Structure 1
């Protein structure tokens, strides 16, 4: 998927702001899942859950960085419509990891 860009119009509306807020919400959700996974890992003595939490924190930082880049792309003279493919794959992988961490933390909490 190649990047598709169009000339910026005079009033892009709220699309750039909504896109930036979506990336910020994603980063916040990943950070909360990271905290929950790390807490469950520390309480239950499961280093794998702690590692999942650390990876999710890194993914949260990456989502913040991507959100910043997307905000700049959408606010420039040319609107870059398609986000980088790596960003989409990374967010999908981080979401899957967050889901696995959340499920694992429930089972670990139930076993203790």
Structure 2
């Protein structure tokens, strides 16, 4: 899929801000799930949950980077409407992993 690029109208409105906020919210949700996974993994002694938490933190950083690039694309001279396919797939996979990590961290029984 080729990116769809159009000329900027000079007044992009609030689109770049809304886009930046959406990417920031997604990164924050993934980071919170990373914390939950790390805590549950450390408390329950489950190394796989710790690994999921570390991977989710890395994914959260990647989402912040993608959001920054998207904000720049939308606020430049030429608007790049279509984000890269890899970025969309990566964020979808990271969000699913964050959801699975959050559910797993709640369901893990502590051994105390």
TM-score (norm. length: structure 2): 0.95
What is the RMSD of the two structures over their aligned residues, measured on CA atoms?
A: 0.7
Number of aligned residue pairs: give it: 110
The corresponding residue for 1:97 is 97
SS of residue in 1 equivalent to 2:11? coil
Inter-partner Cα distance in structure 1 for 2:83 and 2:51: 28
Q: Which has the higher helix share?
A: 1
Structure 1 segments (4+ residues) deviating >6 Å: none
Q: Which runs of 5 or more residues in structure 1 are unaligned?
A: none
Corresponding residue number in structure 2 for 1:87: 87
Give the match for residue 6 of structure 1: 6
Shift of 1:86: 0.7
Q: What SS does the aligned partner of 2:48 have?
A: helix
**Tell me, which stretches of 5 or more residues in structure 2 are unaligned?**
none
1:1-112 paired onto structure 2 within 5 Å: 1-108=1-108, 111-112=109-110
